[in-house]
Amino acid sequence: MTATLGEGREWTDPTCPVARTVDLVGDRWSLLIVRDAMDGAATFTEFQQRLGIARNILTDRLRRLVESGILVTTTAPGGKRHSYELTSAGADLFTTIVALRQWGERHAFASNESRSTLLDLDDRPLAELQPRNRRGKPVTAGTTRVRKVR
C-alpha cells in the first residue's frame, strides 16, 4: 500500500488497521477475487466463470481492487482485453486467505463434509498458522493488547 491510499477516503475506524483492511477487502466478492487471482485467474471471464458473479458486481470489485492497489491491470496484445495481476500488496493477503481457510476448515464444515485443501508443492497440507511474538512464543487475544492512538 502507498502512503496516499487513505487520502480522500472515509474509513469505518480511521486508526484501526483491521477496520481499514475490512474497508478495502472485507466484502465476500473482493476476497474471493483475490483468492482466485492467487490461484491463477487473470481475466474478467475467468473470474466470472469461477465465481458465478454478476458482471456489474465483478466490474465494481475489480475497479475497487485496482484503485486500492491490490490488483493492477495490463492490456493484452491487441488492446481489447484486460488482465489482472496481484500487486505486492495483493500478494501480501496470502496469509490472510490462508488464515480464513484454516478457520473455515475448523469451524465452517461438518466433519463428514468434503472441502478443498491447500497443499504445498510437495502435496502436503500447510502447518496451522499461529501468531507469535518477537521471541517466537505463541500469542492469543488474551496475551496481547491494542495500543490506541491518542
Kindly calculate the radius of gyration of the chain based on its CA atoms and give it in whole angstroms: 18
Residue 58 lies in a domain: yes
Q: Specify the pTM.
A: 0.88
Whole-angstrom distance, CA of residue 150 vs CA of residue 57: 38
Residue 119 lies in a domain: no
Residue 135 lies in a domain: no
Residue 124 cell numbers, joined: 502436503
Residue 134 lies in a domain: no
- Under 8 Å CB-to-CB from 115, ≥6 apart: which residues? 104, 105, 109
67: three-class secondary structure by DSSP:
helix
| Angle made by CA atoms 58, 59, 63, in degrees to the nearest 5 | 115
- Give the domain CATH number at 48: 1.10.10.10
Residue 73 lies in a domain: yes
What residue numbers bound the domain in which 71 lies? 17-112
77-102 confidence digits (pLDDT tens): 777 788 999 999 999 999 999 999 99
Residue 31 lies in a domain: yes
Residue 147 lies in a domain: no
Average pLDDT, the chain: 92
